Amino acid sequence: MKKTGAQILWECLVREGVTDVFGYPGGAILPAYDAMLEYPIRHVLVRHEQGATHMADGYARASGRVGVAIATSGPGATNMVTGIATAMMDSSPIVCITGQVGSKLIGSDAFQETDITGITLPITKHNYLVTSAAEIAPAIREAFAVAASGRPGPVLVDITKDAQQGTAEFDWDAAEPHLTEALDAALPGDDDHREALALINAAERPLILAGHGVMLSGAEREIVALAERGQIPIAVTLLGIGGVPASHPLNLGMMGMHGEAWVNSAIQEADLLIALGMRFDDRVTGNLKTYAVHARKIHVDIDRAELNKNVRVDVAIAADLKAVVAEWLPGVQRVDRSTWLKRIDGLKGDSAVRDIQNLPDNGHLYAAHVINDLWRLTKGGAVVVTDVGQHQMWEAQYYKHDRPRSLITSGGLGTMGFALPAAIGAKIACPEAEVWVVAGDGGFQMTMAELATAMQERLDLNIAIINNGYLGMVRQWQEFFYDKRYAATPLSGPDFVKLAEAFGCWSTAVTHRSEVERAVEAARRQPRPAVIDFRVEQEDSVYPMVPAGADLHKMIRRPSPLVETGAD
Ligand SMILES: Cc1cc2nc3c(=O)[nH]c(=O)nc-3n(C[C@H](O)[C@H](O)[C@H](O)COP(=O)(O)OP(=O)(O)OC[C@H]3O[C@@H](n4cnc5c(N)ncnc54)[C@H](O)[C@@H]3O)c2cc1C
Ligand SMILES: Cc1ncc(C[n+]2csc(CCOP(=O)(O)OP(=O)(O)O)c2C)c(N)n1
Ligand SMILES: [Mg+2]
């Protein structure tokens, strides 16, 4: 049956199972928008195309489905760049569709022409320039397959206006993608498994490093089974949080720059690291020369390019994690590792004493308190979407995630402005979930226009602004490494309560710990977006901290007794 290119586009999206798209119209994508009205798809009108890409990303991370963003050519497409790079760094499957000027105008500097496939080449898993209606179905089907298969990631399909307007025979079956084997899981050799098992069974001080790949692979149960069978403790990456329940006795917590001190020390003392679906980011390893020098290493990652990239390993397996661990399980011996587990318990040492959580209520509002209260009040059941900065690290430390996909955060690119739009995407993907944004006063100001989107879509979204009056994480670096020279980090903001009310949201401000509970409960009762301005201690820092590039075990610890600074 003949259809226009625009109709073919929506026909394909519907058949791919797409129910929601995030976008913003304009001239070069107008034929597609016109055809959209005939299809059962919810279109969420964003306020900036960066928001559309983060929404698609949040949608994908919350649900495991592919998120879809749509924009016009030129500035619409370039506004998507940050969101695409964010999804690329964190292996999030999204498909971005952009309009392009007519195919005969390409290269003529036509109105709103930009080479978006050229611009996004290094930050997409793959991209397409489609110049005829007949190419649309194969391109869209392949885009979805590429985005979701192997190591997930963003794919962009740029469709010229004449391709949308032209007609072609629509044949769904003929458009079936044929991906090359390289995109699918490659099977490892049996020897790799034997070698890995021998190392695991012989180890006295093994440690599992569980990353984002645990959730991407759906291997949550297998990892816990491996840990329990072998009595092997687990450390998680920032993006691995939730993949293993925080409350599981073998889960030690987060590793890396702002990880728990005992976790980093355990890594340095281990005799075997079993790295599963994590990519040894520099925030995780610190100085590579001194990283886990006593440990043999096994690395399982679906992306061969990650193996032996940052850390040299003894056994490297390029395959889907779930399948690999399932294969190992019967061969994993039940070994008594109580000495090692006791040793790690001992490493916890004075951490508890220094922990800010145990401070009495002294009239100061600490972000750590706010987040811990949020965890308590939501009983750990919320999907929390963070922005980037100190509040992001405090969230990782003080909100205990027991469920997969319940922490959504920009790790690899560290994109400020991510939280609010990503949370909108998460809420639309999972309408039953209680969704909380935890954002800094800096990052929130980057994309706060999306409050209008949340209102227009009548979303029951809760937003906690951790307002410290600073670009806090940068201020912290200036405090530690630049002699407290606070260049361009003191930050004013609007009256967030008035601002939120102007958008039609419910809002309140909190300055004392005693008010946290009331405010959180009131926000939870609101059926519309609710914004709480938590005016927290201004010059608090995130501890512990491994300075960039330092040895992992050489952490800066919170001064004891706690030093209080800043305005009350
Ligand atoms: C301010 C700030 C501070 C930070 N501090 C820390 C910190 O202290 N600690 C920390 O951990 N991080 C920290 N990060 C995050 C850090 O930068 C990285 O984003 C994070 O460590 C990456 O985690 P990951 O390797 O688990 O996930 P990803 O980067 O998403 O990598 C996932 C890996 O899993 C693989 N994979 C995907 N699917 C499968 C599958 N089916 N089977 C097998 N493998 C698969 C992928 O190929 C990839 O290699 C910080 C970020 C910011 C912005
Ligand atoms: C788009 C973008 N620009 C700059 C940075 C660098 N950066 C990282 S954290 C941070 C400060 C964030 O401040 P705020 O949002 O108030 O959060 P806080 O650290 O105070 O909790 C900055 C500027 C970034 N990560 N992203
Ligand atoms: Mg701040």
Query: In this predicted model, what pLDDT tens digit does every residue of 18-34 receive, in sequence order?
Result: 999 999 999 999 999 99
Average pLDDT for 351-379: 82
- As a whole number, mean pLDDT of residues 276-296 equals 97
Among 88, 254, 257, 473, which one carries the catalytic annotation? 473
Q: Among the bound ligands, name the one nearest to the CA of residue 438.
A: 2
Encode burial over 303-315: b for 16+ CB neighbours within 10 A, e otherwise: ebebbeebbebeb
Ligand 2 binding pocket (C-beta < 6 A) is: 387-391, 414-417, 440-443, 466, 468, 470-474
370 contacts 516 by C-beta, under 8 angstroms: yes
Share of the chain above pLDDT 70, in %: 94
Active site annotation includes 537: no
Atom 11, ligand 1: residue with shortest CA distance: 237
- Going from the Cα of 11 to the center of ligand 1, the distance in angstroms, rounded, reads 35
The residues placing their C-beta within 5 Å of ligand 3, an ion, are 440-442, 468, 470, 472
**Distance between CA atoms of 51 and 59, rounded to whole angstroms?**
12
Write the burial class of residue 8 (CB in 10 Å: 0-12 exposed, 13-18 middle, 19+ buried). buried
Confidence band, pLDDT 50/70/90 cuts, at residue 521: very high
CA–CA separation, 37 and 155 (whole Å): 24
Q: What is the pLDDT of residue 91?
A: 98
CA distance 392 to 238: 10
β-pairing, 42-45 vs 206-210, is unpaired
Q: What digits encode the pLDDT tens for the residues 72-91?
A: 999 999 999 999 999 999 99
For a mutational test of ligand 2's pocket, the pick from 258, 392, 397, 416, i.e. the residue with the most ligand atoms closer than 8 A to its C-beta, is 416
Give dist(CA 499, CA 451) in Å, integer: 10
| Distance between CA atoms of residues 139 and 525, nearest Å | 44
Gap from CA of 163 to ligand 3 centroid (Å): 46
Burial of 106 (0-12, 13-18, 19+ CB in 10 A): middle
For 454-473, write each residue's pLDDT tens digit. Answer: 999 999 999 999 999 999 99
Q: Is the pLDDT of residue 567 over 50?
A: no
Residues paired with 155 in a beta bridge:
95, 126
Please enumerate in sequence order all residues whose Cβ is within 8 A of that of 482, keeping only pairs 6 or more positions apart, or say none. none
Active-site residue 445, yes or no? Answer: no
* Mean pLDDT across 27-46: 98
Q: Name the nearest CA neighbour of 405 among 150, 199, 155, 212.
A: 212
- The reply to whether omega before 561 is within 30° of 0 (cis) is yes
Nearest CA owner, ligand 2 atom 20:
472
Which residue in this structure is represented by tokens 């976008």? 23
pLDDT of residue 364: 86
Q: Pocket of ligand 2, candidates 371, 388, 398: which has the most ligand atoms within 8 Å of its Cβ, to mutate? A: 388
Q: E strands of 173-232, at which residues?
A: 206-210
pLDDT exceeds cutoff 80 at 94: yes
DSSP strands (E only) in 381-529: 383-386, 407-408, 435-440, 461-467, 506-510
Is 478 considered catalytic here?
A: no
563 Cβ contact list (under 8 Å, min separation 6): none
Length of the chain, in residues: 568
CA 221 to ligand 1 center in whole angstroms: 19
Report which DSSP code applies to 448: G
What's the CA gap between 537 and 365, in Å, rounded?
6
- Read off the pLDDT of each residue in 39-45 and give the average, rounded to a whole number: 98
User: Domains in the chain, ordered, with CATH?
Assistant: 2-181 (3.40.50.970), 190-348 (3.40.50.1220), 367-539 (3.40.50.970)
Q: How far is the CA of 236 from the centre of ligand 1 (A)?
A: 9
Nearest residue to 327 via CA among 446, 185, 439, 436? 185
Please give the Cα distance from 270 to 251 (Å, whole number). 15
Q: 540 and 563 in contact (C-beta within 8 Å)?
A: no
User: Which pLDDT value is given to residue 229?
Assistant: 98
Burial of residue 511 (number of CB atoms within 10 Å: 0-12, 13-18, 19+): middle
- CA quadruple 384, 386, 389, 391: dihedral sign: negative
